[in-house]
Structure 1
Amino acid sequence: MSQNPTDDARDDAAAGTTTQAPEPRSVLVTGGNRGIGRAIAEAFLAQGDKVAVTTRSGGAPDGALDVRCDITDPAAVDAAFAEVEAAHGPVEVLVANAGITADTLVLRMSEEDWSSVIDTNLTGSFRLAKRASKGMLRLRRGRIVFISSVVGLLGSPGQVNYAASKAGLVGMARSLARELGSRGITANVVAPGFVDTDMTAVLSDEQRASIKTQVPLGRYADPVEVASAVTWLAGEGAAYVTGAVIPVDGGLGMGH
């Protein structure tokens, strides 16, 4: 054998044994037109994957299939998957990111405040995972990633509905991990802390400064940092990781 690595590489190339780039996968990211969801979609696009994004009003990143979908409508979810499957094939990676808030103290929280957040954040994720799992079971592989929140682990005043919805994703992922693991399908959770997005931009300077004092790293996350955790969970390096909760919170919720 040659002692020159360059010669070895040439020999491998001549023998047709060069390493092939991974095949592009069909990836679906819900709520991928802004903030964390957009960063996630762009990260998969950068890897060369075939990415579809669901939105209510459009605005998917360049290169992504823009699919209009209201995840509170089961028929709309089914139609969205049919559109993605026709364009990109069966969904191999699902990132359930779409979510809403309706913050208020519990004594002021209406039935609608509660039900709308639960139906979007928790039940919507159930609808997505159920529909995605059909194709994944046939493929005998797949990755499901739920975007939760540090609030779902720590709680937060004024967010009883939101915290409950995000905590529920952990139980959902772990149950799916047990149900689907034998078919090569993983289900995991990413729990971001405070992230520099449109949602946090509306906070006052005083509120933003106060939040930073609670975070050991002393800053907000960049959406790209959350996206990195998601793409790792969806990649080969995390093939033996399932039922996990990966915090991206600067240490805010450590121990949870």
Structure 2
Amino acid sequence: MTAPGLGTRFGAEGTAVVTGAASGIGLATAMRLADGGYDVLALDRNSPQPSWEGDHSIDFRCVDVRDVPALQATVRDGLADRPPLRAVCSAAGVRRPMPLSRLTVDSWDEIFDVNVRGVLFLLQECLPHLADGASVVLVGSPSSVADTTDLAYAASKAAVGTLARTLALALTPHGVRVNVVSPAFTSTGMTREADDSRRADAARRNVAGRVNEPRDIANAIAWLCGPEAATVSGTVVDVGGVAGMPARAGIPIGDLICEGGSLK
């Protein structure tokens, strides 16, 4: 079934670059964009999961986004003799939860090298290749507002948001859109160690009554890359996280609207 508002060939005659494409949100996005007609250049430092297999127009290449010269050379080579670059999605990311008292220079650098520097220099290499009307989507996080469990990750995702807003302004005259998708709790390798209580709480706070799956984020990214989002730029699309902020403020869901959370 085609997602509402997305034609099966909305990416026809175009190339998409996706990082973090071996698993989770990146893998789902690469497959979703390929299904939409894009010729996908998929990048990751790891080999893709078995679910990669299928009838998809995907060229997978192993590269670590922390190695900027290798990343840019891989993108440059991968875009040669391909259709115009119409979509870029940066989904590569790492998280190392730890309190400030245990934060090390190495862990801080790793998180920023992947989550920020890798994004910046990916885009630097992609910019000259972007076609008019192209779309750039960066994967952010609700943690960008505040996250007491992982200061470095929160700061890196705040940087991603600032980068996106700045690029959106700078690229408007060129017809290039830049947006952020901000997934609430999503069932990926990054959350595999979450206990049942945390998963249940995340499901309760998601309007769908379940936790996000990678495909949910991929569908939002695909919409931002498609013609239906032609006038959307410089914004953050929250996926499954609408109710997250009251929880951070210590306010039970529903109590902001009526006593006991009932609509009756």
Question: What is the aligned residue count?
Answer: 233
> Distance between the aligned counterparts of 1:122 and 1:141, measured in 2?
24
Residue 251 of structure 1 deviates from its aligned partner by: 1.9
Instruction: Find 1:128's aligned residue among 106, 122, 125.
Output: 122
Instruction: Find 1:28's aligned residue among 12, 17, 34.
Output: 17
The answer to whether the 8 Å contact 1:81/1:131 transfers is yes
Unaligned runs of 5+ in 1: 1-19
> Distance between the aligned counterparts of 1:169 and 1:237, measured in 2?
24
The residue number in structure 1 matching 2:94 is 100
Structural RMSD (CA): 2.0
Of the two, which has the highest radius of gyration?
Answer: 1
> Distance between the aligned counterparts of 1:211 and 1:241, measured in 2?
28
The answer to whether the 8 Å contact 2:207/2:240 transfers is no
Amino acid at match of 2:36: Q
Amino acid at match of 1:135: H
The answer to whether the 8 Å contact 1:84/1:91 transfers is no
Instruction: Tell me: CA distance 1:182–1:116, structure 2 relative to 1, closer, same or farther (3 Å).
Output: same
Residue 29 of structure 1 deviates from its aligned partner by: 0.6
> Distance between the aligned counterparts of 2:142 and 2:36, measured in 1?
27
Structure richer in helix, relative to its length: 1
Instruction: Find 1:81's aligned residue among 75, 94, 102.
Output: 75
The residue number in structure 1 matching 2:195 is 204
The residue number in structure 2 matching 1:238 is 229
Residue 22 of structure 1 deviates from its aligned partner by: 6.2
The residue number in structure 2 matching 1:148 is 140
| Displaced runs of 4 or more, over 6 A | none
> Distance between the aligned counterparts of 1:44 and 1:142, measured in 2?
14
Identity of aligned residues (%): 29
Instruction: Report the TM-score, using the length of structure 1 for normalisation.
Output: 0.84
Instruction: Tell me: CA distance 1:90–1:75, structure 2 relative to 1, closer, same or farther (3 Å).
Output: farther
Instruction: Find 1:160's aligned residue among 142, 151, 155.
Output: 151
The answer to whether the 8 Å contact 1:148/1:189 transfers is yes
Residue 134 of structure 1 deviates from its aligned partner by: 1.4
